[in-house]
Amino acid sequence: MAAAEEMACADQQELLRLLEDHGQQFLGSFASPVVIGKRKGETSDEERQPKKRKVNDESEEEWSGFGSNDEDSISDSDEDLDGGSAEEIGEQQERNASRRPDVVVFSDQSAKTSTSASQPTKAQMKAFMSSKVTKVSQDVQEHESDEKSSDEDDERTHVQNDALLHRLVHTHILPGSSNPDLSLTPAQRKKMLAGRILEAAGKAKLGKGETTVRSAEHKMAAKRVREGIIAKQKERNQKQLEEAKNLGNYHPTLKRLYDASSQTQNRKRTREKGLRMGVGSFRGGVLKLSREDISSVQATTGDRRRRDFKRKGAKR
């Protein structure tokens, strides 16, 4: 009985071993997954051949049932367990470890950024849920206002720099009358000096002092002389305008620079149409009175009362 039990246990162990080998062969038949960016070295033909031989040997040793060769199989199994079972188990474990599928986690950065960008902020949700339509586009308007404010600051600095350069050109770089190298007549030097005095006093713009002096002198001349001067000035301006157009330096906004009438004549102030209030200012349907207006009215009423009182006293 004991011998029969030992034989049954040995047969079960052999069956388990064969089943494990068959399972390993089945798993090995599947190709390992391809990993992007990391490729294992390709196995050579010499390494593949011993694996094929081992698979063939193991397939030949498959169990063929209980028969006359049980004792031989038992003895072979005992030898395998005693001798090379430990080595084969170690090799199989190494193969299993090497054949484990590589897990690659793919994360799309663009999807994350798109989801984060699509998710509205707390302020945007608050503006969207509000009853006022103007608050829906509040954030966009704030960004636009910031950009506009920065552009306005840049334009302001550019204008200030242009004004400073213009002042330096007309005061230090091109002093005009104080330059002895210029071949000017005494009359021209005198007019230029008078124009510089007007510019320094603030009576004329920078660079326009001499023109104001000449225009004042032209007004003192006779009518025919003035008409001839104006006609000649128009011809010169027309010639400069044609030259600018031919050179490509002309723009419709610069037309007033080439027009003599726009330079000489001052713009007329627009007259306020309709009736004007004698006291205060009427704007937007509301009459606004300042303290000065109220005090002036009170002073006039007080003076009238005094005059009336004096007249009544004189009659008595």
pLDDT digits (tens, 9 = 90+) for 62-119: 555 555 455 555 455 555 544 455 566 667 666 765 666 666 666 555 555 555 556 7
Q: What is the mean pLDDT of residues 228-236?
A: 90
pLDDT winner (highest mean) among 97-106, 117-126, 176-185: 117-126
Dihedral angle of Cα 294, 295, 300, 306, to the nearest 10 degrees: 130
Q: What is the 3-state secondary structure (H, E, C) of 28-46?
A: HCCCCCCCCCCCCCCCCHH
Q: What is the mean pLDDT of residues 179-188?
A: 74
Tokens 């994360």 identify what position? 107
Q: Report residue 51 CA to chain centroid gap.
A: 63
Q: What is the mean pLDDT of residues 292-302?
A: 74
Name which of 212, 213, 257, 206 is nearest 236 in CA terms: 257
Instruction: Report d(CA 27, CA 15) in Å as an integer.
Output: 18
Contacts 24+ apart (CB under 8 A), 89-98: 92/20, 92/24, 95/24, 95/28, 96/24, 96/27
Q: Which of 1-10, 34-43, 228-237, 250-259 has the lowest mean pLDDT?
A: 34-43
DSSP 281: E
The percentage of residues in the chain with a pLDDT greater than 90, rounded to a whole number, is: 3
pLDDT band at 162 (very low <50, low <70, confident <90, very high): confident
Tokens of 103: 């897990």
pLDDT reported for residue 81: 47
pLDDT reported for residue 155: 86
Tens-digit pLDDT profile for residues 188-223: 888 888 888 888 788 888 778 888 888 888 888 899
Task: Tell me the CB-side half-sphere exposure of residue 49, using CA atoms within 13 A.
Answer: 3
The whole-chain average pLDDT of the chain stands at 70
pTM (2 d.p.)? 0.29
